[in-house]
Structure 1
Amino acid sequence: MSTETQNTAPTTLPLIPGRWPFDPQHSSVGFTIRHLGISKVRGRFDEFTAELVVGETLEASSVTATVRLASIDTGNADRDAHVRAPDLLDVEKRPTMTFRSTRIAGAGEDWTLEGELTIGDVTRPITFDVEFGGVVDVPVDGSRHAGFDATGEFRRSDFGLGFAPGILGDVIKVGLELQFVEPR
């Protein structure tokens, strides 16, 4: 842990160093996209992994995540099947969406996570605003969990997903609720 003054940014995360695996039972990946420009369709991805590596410095710390795109769930099975199809998302051609961090910055509860988002064979920069929820001891098993809420957005057209203009919005807003387990 670093000490922080008003003029000095922290050089470490407020977590112990090591690999922090994610807790899939208490994590989620959701999104919203405009439909016809008048309302939002909300959905989630049910299959994903994430890992937080806390280094001795912020520069040595990283976050990675992989989402299986076929696990999309918008609450409508017919719509989900259509989104998976070759004329839209084409999950056979683009099975995953991956994130790799390139920079972590912030202090207290408010952090910024910069990185690269890859869908299919296209990689673009993305920035997430991250709220650090803190670290708590879980009474059931004595493990320690850290919680994060991250939000960001990207343009689907930047990834070659420009299908259905006018029907679907170009901006996809992503929201992640992630818990990571402290290494033992």
Structure 2
Amino acid sequence: MSNDTSSNTAATSVSALPLTPGEWELDPHHAAVNFTVRHLGISKVRGRFTEFTAGLYVGEALDDVRVTAEIALASIDTGNADRDAHTRSAELLDVEKRPTMTFRSTRISGEGDDWTMEGDLSIGDVTRPVTLAVEFGGVVDAPLDQKKHAGFEATGEIRRGDFGLNFAPGLLGDVIKIHLDMPFIAP
């Protein structure tokens, strides 16, 4: 495929998403960073992170679209204060040494409502590639602020061991399922 064709496809793909070029702002009041991990192999622990930021830059072509995020690992909330305190400790996440988890997209592809976002996820000093399935929820003019709002839902999974988080084998599963709700506000 020639560069001209792929450039036209990328431009058409961004045009198919009714997103205004520029820096879109995260709507933190309607965003969520959730996860699920197996406990003892028989049940699931569900949790979320309550402190995070995210950015969406929309360019003229699909290759110019960028997504970034930073999550404060100390903001973990599984609904159990003792479990959360233990998870933050040096024995598990060690938030003193690994205060944040960051994501930077490297490639976005798809069409219609279904997209794939590839990127680099860093936890502490370990960075690994991650692929997320992204569902585009659409764009609406919000009645309260009269601005365009776009919604995205992203799902995927990571392996704790890939990031050197090998604590509690047998107690906690290696696979962590991720579920993100990311609404953004137009520039």
TM > 0.5 between the two? Answer: yes
1:141 & 1:42 partners in 2: Cα distance? 33
* CA–CA separation in structure 2 for the residues paired with 1:17 and 1:121: 32
Runs of 4+ in 1 over 4 A off after TM superposition: none
Give the match's secondary structure for 2:36.
strand
Q: Distance in 1 between matches of 2:162 and 2:146?
A: 44
**Richer in helix (by share):** 2
What TM-score do you get using the length of structure 2 for normalisation? 0.92
Query: Per-residue CA shift, 1:93-119, capped at 9, x if unaligned?
Result: 000000000000011100000000000
User: Which secondary structure does the structure 1 equivalent of 2:167 belong to?
Assistant: coil
Amino acid at match of 1:12: V
Structure 2 counterpart of 1:101 = 105
TM-score normalised to structure 1 length: 0.94
Q: Match of 1:23?
A: 27
**Cα distance in 1 between the residues matched to 2:168 and 2:143:** 49
Amino acid corresponding to residue 154 of structure 1 in structure 2: I
Unaligned runs of 5+ in 2: 1-8
Aligned partner (choices 72, 79, 86) of residue 76 of structure 2 = 72
The residue type paired with residue 159 of structure 2 is: R
Distance (whole Å) between structure 2 residues aligned to residue 38 and residue 11 of structure 1: 42
2-structure distance, mates of 1:143, 1:129: 26
Does the alignment pair 1:12 with 2:14?
A: yes
SS at match of 1:78: helix
> Deviations along 1:56-106, whole A, 9 cap, x unmatched?
001111000000000000000000000000000000000000000000001
Q: Does 1:142 align with 2:185?
A: no
1:103-157 Cα shifts (integer Å, max 9, x gaps): 0001110000000000000000000000000000111120110000000101000
Contact 2:13 2:111 in 1 (8 A): no
- Number of residue pairs aligned between Structure 1 and Structure 2: 176
**Which residue of structure 2 lines up, in the alignment, with residue 5 of structure 1?**
none
Answer yes or no: is the 8 Å Cα contact 2:50–2:76 preserved in 1.
yes
Deviation sequence 1:21-62 (CA, Å, 0-9, x none): 100001000000000000100000000000000000011110
User: What code does the residue aligned with 1:155 have?
Assistant: R
Matched, 1:175 2:140: no
What is the alpha-carbon distance in structure 2 between the residues aligned to residue 178 and residue 70 of structure 1? 20
RMSD of aligned alpha carbons: 1.0
**Which residue does 1:4 correspond to in 2?**
none
Find the aligned partners of 1:131 and 1:11 in 2 and give their Cα distance.
14
Which of 125, 132, 142 in structure 2 is aligned with 1:128?
A: 132
